[in-house]
Amino acid sequence: MSEQQSVFEILDQSGLERGPRVKALYELGFTWADLEDEEYWLDAIAVMRRDTYKELEEASSKLWAILDKAVRYVHLKRDLYELLGIPPVLWEMLDGSPMPEEGFISRYARFDFAIAHDGTIKLLELNADTPTGYVEASIATPWICDQAGVHSPNQGMKEQVAAAWQIERPDTAACVAYGSHLEDSGTIEALVKHSGLDIQCVDCLDLWVDNGILKDGGDRVIERMFALYPKEWMAVDEGGDALAYAVEQGNLQLFNGPHSILLQSKGLVAAVWGMYELGLLFDKEERETILRYILPTYNKPVFSGNFVSKSVFGREGGSVRMFDDSGALELEDEDGYDSSQLFPTVYQKRADLARITTSEGEFHLLTGMFVINGKPCGMLGRAGGLITGNASHFIALGVR
């Protein structure tokens, strides 16, 4: 199907003067529109057909409930923890922490979908632990769309963050290299601002654990912390086991909560697909949703060709390998960290992403959908190669 028949319409904005627009976005908090003289933000808007957006929103709600149900089935089953690649250092924390109410295992998450030109929607993965792209979605996208007179469904993201954090009430927000890593620093600063709470931002590298008590570099005790720190790294980083111990002892509450790592694991998608095939756990409507939106995903390479392999905790394209129809390796990510050296691998059928043409060239379009406080509420557009990794661009998504 050609772009002329696509559910996406590309509005080229490269004719507008870029400098003042980059400056305006910088003042709003999106400080990395240009990175090292390279354009991260593309001067275009991908406008989605309205019926496709409504289906995406509904699919996100249904898949959210299905994956929530799967986590509750996996919980307390250590053989399934192992299958999902959950590091053993986290098992006590998972078993001892109270399971959140239905729909709120993670209050800040993002689905990544492949949407083809014909509107076919397929789930690629869920980042339920430490998603970024929040500033691009909640601040930049509404502004860019408003400037062009295009509807953005992202306007309510700030209110959802405020509602979520009024319940969780973190006293600290943390990321690695706070103050120097533009994207992660800007992300936690925006979340803090939108929460309306008095929250201190810190660098994860300045934190330490004193007899089960988490403290910052100034010896301030931290009791409730939001962190852009992947929980699986507690099994790898020095002091990770001490951080897990602080949670186990009830001295520290993490947001997203401990069980978000079960949602985060790509092994959970494989588990859902396996239970679908075996006729377990899910009712008729849920099975229809799984068949329609979830790609066949397995813990073993059962495909003869045309599949993708990736680590259960791969991020930003890291560890992704694509195989062609004959089963030969076609493409692999060379920029992101290959975490398949540390964690198990899943194998997933390939999906079609719409190809778009902008003034910067041709790209594949990946569509993210944030789920904040249990509600699908904001899209993130990324344009890149067949593998959407660190080198991908941000493109605003609107709705016709």
What would the pLDDT profile of 182-226 be if each residue is shown by its tens digit?
A: 999 999 999 999 999 999 999 999 999 999 999 999 999 999 999
- Tens of pLDDT, residues 66-123: 999 999 999 999 999 999 999 999 999 999 999 999 999 999 999 999 999 999 999 9
Take residue 374 and report the two structure tokens written for it: 């249990």
**DSSP 8-state code for residue 268:** H
Pairing of strands 38-39, 41-48: unpaired
d(CA 367, CA 124): 10
pLDDT the model gives residue 388: 82
- What gap in Å lies between CA 271 and CA 84, rounded to an integer? 8
Neighbouring residues of 293: CB distance < 8 A, sequence distance ≥ 6 = 59, 62, 63, 121, 122, 123
CB atoms within 10 A of CB 281: 16
Note the pLDDT of residue 3: 60
Cβ atoms 272, 238 nearer than 8 A: no
Residue 316 pLDDT grade (very low, low, confident, very high; cuts 50, 70, 90)? confident
Neighbour tally for 304: CB within 10 Å:
10
Specify the pLDDT at position 103.
Answer: 98
Which is nearest to 230 in space by CA: 203, 265, 183, 269? 265
Residue 2: band (very low, low, confident or very high) from pLDDT cuts 50, 70, 90? low
266 with 317: CB under 8 angstroms?
no
Q: For residue 397, which amino acid is it?
A: L
- pLDDT class of 333 with cuts at 50, 70, 90: confident
Chain CA centroid to CA 365, Å: 15
Residue matched to tokens 């959802």 = 160
Note if the bond before 251 is cis, omega within 30 degrees.
Answer: no
Whether residue 59 has pLDDT greater than 80 = yes
Dihedral angle sign, alpha carbons of residues 384, 45, 147, 196: negative
Q: What is the amino acid identity at position 74?
A: V
Average pLDDT of the residues in 23-47: 95
What is the residue whose two structure tokens read 């408003």? 146
Domain extents in the chain: 3-154+354-399
CB 319 within 8 A of CB 344: no
Give yes or no for residue 283 having a pLDDT over 70: yes
Give me the amino acid identity at 214: L
List the end-to-end C-alpha distance of the chain, in Å, as a whole number.
19
Dihedral Cα 40, 351, 340, 61, nearest 10 deg:
80
Confidence at residue 341, expressed as pLDDT on a 0 to 100 scale: 85
Residue linked to tokens 């594949």: 364
- pLDDT band (50, 70, 90) for residue 13: very high
At 139 the three-state DSSP class reads helix
Read off φ and ψ for residue 304, nearest 5 degrees: -85, -20
CA-to-CA distance for 136 and 141, rounded, in angstroms? Answer: 6
- Count of other CB atoms within 10 angstroms of residue 278: 8
161/96 Cα distance (integer angstroms): 27
Residue 317: pLDDT band by 50, 70, 90 thresholds? low
Q: What is the pLDDT of residue 245?
A: 97
Strands (E), 283-392: 297-298, 307-311, 321-323, 329-332, 345-349, 355-358, 361-372, 375-384
- Cross-strand bridge partners of residue 367: 113, 381
- Cα gap 15→7, rounded to integer Å: 24
Measured distance CA(64)–CA(108) in Å, rounded: 12
